Structure 1
Amino acid sequence: IIKTSVLSTLLTWLLLLEKFNLYSWLTLYFYWVMHLEVLLPMGVCPLARMPLLRDNFSGPLDPGAQPEVLTCTSWGAPIIWDGTFDPDVAQQEAVQRNLTVGLTVFAVGRYLEKYLERFLETAEQHFMVGQRVVYYVFTERPAAVPRVPLGPGRRLRVERVARERRWQDLSMAPALGGRLGREARFVLCIDVDQHFSGAFGPEALAESVAQLHAWHYRWPRRLLPFERDARSAAALGPGEGDFYYHAAVFGGSVAALRRLTAHCARGLRRDRARGLEARWHDESHLNKFFWLHKPAKLLSPEFCWSPEIGRRAEIRRPRLLRAPKEYALLRS
């Protein structure tokens, strides 16, 4: 009874704060809100009692392995948490398919010096270990890219991109052409301002992959920070949107990523022509795309965790850790 009462009061206040656009301010300065959100239930996987829930890489899944969190979607896509899959099966499946996995990362401006070397070094320790991997680094200063020692079957490609006025203006479209499209079957697109901290293997691969945002994965749909300005191409109306996805990690087949990036590019151009910008820039357009075209697999917040949130019982083995934000320094 006490828990229900607290939860009801919390939701009431959060709805009022969101109405006046104050929720983001509250979560930024009062971290106790992040601790109270563990009272919000994530829901129950509708397929949890079905032993035949399968993943294209990990074989049979065990959605009941983490009963306190949601382990599948209403459209049947798995949400990958630690314990719900067998990592050995995932490794064997990837080897049998003779895959080459691509990882794209943009490192422009001061992000190159501050983050890229550690990103690549930790990727060598944890990302698709035992698989063939090609890192595609996109930067305006190829000569400044650190030469990190790579293991067998792993390569680094450095591609020059024009320096845009802001990082939001960079496009993924050039990254999906040329050699990348010929070399890699699956590609993961990951932000540079983070580092790998645990095994990030083939269980993360699928035709299209979205990442549950660590700051919003427990919130009800009505509180999620979707773009609500109906004039924007990224807008989602009341009752629309499934989950809030993080643009720091997404992926899929090259063909699927081309469709996603083309959608986002069209939306950004349309908004720009109208003098608009979505609330969370390219991430807002990515969320619109995944509402219209459901991802085949979702990654739990373990695969891109923010240490600022603190410890959570369901976050057993973080795979990527976000760096603290230093916008004033890095974007000046």
Structure 2
Amino acid sequence: MAFKEGLRARKKTLWRLILLALGLLGLLLYGLPVVRHLEVLIPMGFCPSATMSQLGDNFTGVLHPWARPEVLTCTSWGAPIIWDGTFDPDVAQQAAGERNLTIGLTVFAVGRYLEKYLARFLETAEQHFMVGQRVLYYVFTERPTAMPRLALGPGRRLHVQRVVREQRWQDVSMARMSTLRAALAGRLGREAHFVLCMDVDQHFSGAFGPEALAESVAQLHAWHYHWPRRLLPFERDARSAAALAPGQGDFYYHATLGSVAALRRLTTHCARGLRQYCARGLEARWHDESHLNKFFWLHKPAKVLSPEFCWSPDIGPRAEIRRPRLLWARKEYALLRT
């Protein structure tokens, strides 16, 4: 009898722990700020010493991953994850200067996003983005005449390309890959050596330099970089060209940059998948972002940028985020997507 009562008590305790864990997980997933701070307790993993000694590339030289022991500084396939303190910015500037590069920065500013965000995005880019390098801003908008006036520094140019305004914001998101693919086959592809694709509802807050460059680069999503793989919001609908099966996926990414050739491959892959999905009357959970993650599962990036390169102030301060380079604006979907 005592044994059975003890077993019942243990089962009761176990179920309480399970329910508590599920409750905390639900709060974490659905946005209670206090609970989100518990993410820092989820280990990010570690980089083996043998891999750390080999990290580096043509822009950063030899990296110093041991300077950030509290975070993950490499991937399982040996690519570096760039954090503040792991690279020498002067080495990166010199390496980029010796190659005489033109760096493209693309941004879509359609609907109310143009008036709300574009001026600050470009103004802060002039202050912090690839300072000392040749830069080509490439703005896609349906209203070129509404562009804000901006005084550009030496070696920095602005090109505006008209696009058709889609009826739904989901269609705007999904059309970006096809639009970028066409631009990379035209002027953007002819004039730039590397291209970064960013969202307009962001602004630069710190030096964003050539240390970010590589043949193929993925940006870690600030809201998901601590999460275990099984909880990441990959597309799971098996009917989708963006689908990842359970156990697949490395990290969750939301942006990309790289050489013109690498981005042509990426945008071709994503545009094809989006067309196939739309033809079936379906949409991926996170639209073009879902297809981006599928591509990087199949074709591993040569470099990964830590969340310091694109941070959300809504998450709050974290000790491991020492120097944010790019900050998300507060989301105002009700106002901007109507």
TM-score (norm 1): 0.91
Partner of 2:8: none
Partner of 2:96: 94
The structural deviation recorded for 1:52 is 3.4
CA distance in 2, matches of 1:276, 1:104: 27
- Could you list the per-position Cα deviations for residues 80-132 of structure 1 after superposition, in whole angstroms to 9, with x for gaps in the alignment? 00000000000000000011100000100000000000000000000000000
SS at match of 1:158: strand
1:112 and 2:114 correspond = yes
The structural deviation recorded for 1:141 is 0.6
Partner of 2:150: 148
CA distance in 2, matches of 1:215, 1:176: 30
Partner of 1:237: 245
Please tell me whether the aligned partners of residues 91 and 202 of structure 1 are also in contact (alpha carbons under 8 angstroms). Answer: yes
Partner of 1:135: 137
Choose from 254, 259, 266 the match for 2:265: 259
Partner of 1:188: 196
The structural deviation recorded for 1:15 is 7.9
Please tell me whether the aligned partners of residues 78 and 298 of structure 1 are also in contact (alpha carbons under 8 angstroms). Answer: yes
1:161 and 2:163 correspond = yes
Choose from 83, 86, 98 the match for 1:84: 86
The structural deviation recorded for 1:170 is 2.4
Partner of 2:175: 170
SS at match of 1:170: helix
The structural deviation recorded for 1:174 is 2.5
Please tell me whether the aligned partners of residues 15 and 223 of structure 1 are also in contact (alpha carbons under 8 angstroms). Answer: no
CA change 1:49–1:105 in 2 (3 A) is closer
Partner of 1:217: 225
- Could you list the per-position Cα deviations for residues 3-60 of structure 1 after superposition, in whole angstroms to 9, with x for gaps in the alignment? xxxxx99x96698579xxx84x754441122100100010001246643321220100
Please tell me whether the aligned partners of residues 225 and 251 of structure 2 are also in contact (alpha carbons under 8 angstroms). Answer: yes
Structure with the bigger percentage of helix: 2
Please tell me whether the aligned partners of residues 120 and 203 of structure 2 are also in contact (alpha carbons under 8 angstroms). Answer: yes
Choose from 301, 308, 313 the match for 1:307: 313
- The amino acid across from 1:53 in the alignment is L
Choose from 124, 127, 149 the match for 1:125: 127
TM-score (norm 2): 0.90
The structural deviation recorded for 1:78 is 0.5
CA distance in 2, matches of 1:69, 1:320: 19
CA change 1:13–1:103 in 2 (3 A) is farther
CA change 1:13–1:301 in 2 (3 A) is farther
Identity, in percent, stands at 78
CA change 1:13–1:32 in 2 (3 A) is farther
Please tell me whether the aligned partners of residues 28 and 36 of structure 2 are also in contact (alpha carbons under 8 angstroms). Answer: no
SS at match of 1:102: strand
Choose from 209, 232, 237 the match for 1:201: 209
C-alpha RMSD of the superposition = 2.0
- Number of residues of Structure 1 aligned to a counterpart in Structure 2: 318
